[in-house]
Amino acid sequence: MEQYALLKALSDAFGVSGNETDVIRIFREELGFCPHWAGDALGGGYAAFEADSGKPKILLVAHADEVGFVVENLTDNGFIRFVTVGGWNHLTLCGQQVVLRTFGGEEIPGVIGAIPPHFLGSGDNFNEKELFIDVGARDRAELESWGIYPGCFAVPAPNFRTLKNEQFVMGKAFDDRVGLLVIIELFKKLRAIGMLPCTPLAGASVQEEVGCRGARTLAALARPDLALIIEGPPADDTPGLKDSLRQGILGGGPQPRAYDKTTIPSVPLLKLAVDTARDKGIPCQLAVRRTGSTDASQIHISDVGVPSLVISVPVRNAHSPVGILDIHDVDWTVDLLVAMLQKMDAGFVRQCRLQ
């Protein structure tokens, strides 16, 4: 599938945490040229060119799930109260279109409503618990007749499109469907290269947005020697953020993460990323994060430990109904990973594990 079409398919797919089947299916289909697939019991898994080559295993992983909503209860007059799944800025939700999936698999459109300003007093504050989903039902009985019950999930409505500058695209769930795109595009290039000094594994994890749960099961399944976590974190180049702290700029290239509160990366891996980017003329921007967590938080402490590094494609408006990214950053990230993997032989793995 062509790059834009593939990103659209990944972005549009319904994949709130615990409901990643459609996303994993696209991932597996696009990597159909990899003859080996192994899956964990939560729904994640990895593809590989070869099952067991004896060479070091490098797990490249992105998470398939997105932030979304789960039905909490139904009102007598036909509205839906919900709980957010994953981290949301609730100010982004009012008036947003959503798609709700019933237990029977039907997708029903709706909109997140709230009390209009006409009915709010000057002293009233925004209360996220007042939000509701309206699917146009007359009453609770009609909702139930459609198969809507507590426990059904919803996501923002698909909204993928290119912008006036066609290198910029917008859509939902770029965190972390852009990571899946990077891994798919990477493996297409690796297929053409042929022999590598390592065995790369194309991983897709689940339930990252609710505590990186699928990373733990995927790491137990793959038992990698090293791991590269490909993310779509918040860009920090928009108004309202301090210019001096900008480390995730659209068009600034891949973003290796030097630190966050849950993971300190492998020093040799971080150095390899930075040195390789410099040698190849690839833009690169280092990040130190005070907050945030990724699948690296679970993978790097799995088994006896897995030296790991997060490499990201920054996304504006992350964890909102629509994000924006620069396709240049995707391409540069793929190029960086291609070059890095060609240097990850057994000697490099020993260096990482003995630092």
The set of catalytic residues is 208
* Spatial distance between the Cα atoms of 203 and 24, rounded to a whole number of angstroms: 10
Sheet hosting strand 161-162, strand order edge to edge: 161-162, 168-171, 323-326
Token couple for 73? 């209860």
Q: State residue 310 phi and psi, 5-degree precision.
A: -90, 130
Residue that the structure tokens 């409503």 belong to? 113
Helix residue ranges, H only, the chain: 3-12, 21-30, 140-145, 174-193, 213-222, 267-280, 296-299, 327-341, 346-353
Pairing of strands 153-156, 68-74: antiparallel
Angle at 229 between CA 223 and CA 232, to 5 degrees: 150
Largest Cα–Cα separation, the chain: 69
* Spatial distance between the Cα atoms of 12 and 3, rounded to a whole number of angstroms: 14
Query: In this structure, are residues 204 and 221 in contact, taking their beta carbons and an 8 Å threshold?
Result: no
Burial of 51-73, coded b for 16+ CB within 10 Å and e otherwise, reads: eeeebbbbbbbbbbbbbbbbbee
Amino acid identity, position 126: F
Give the 3-state secondary structure of 317-353: CCCCCCEEEEHHHHHHHHHHHHHHHCCCCHHHHHHHH
Q: State residue 66 phi and psi, 5-degree precision.
A: -130, 160
Residue that the structure tokens 């996303």 belong to? 23
Q: State residue 117 phi and psi, 5-degree precision.
A: -60, -25
Amino acid identity, position 307: P
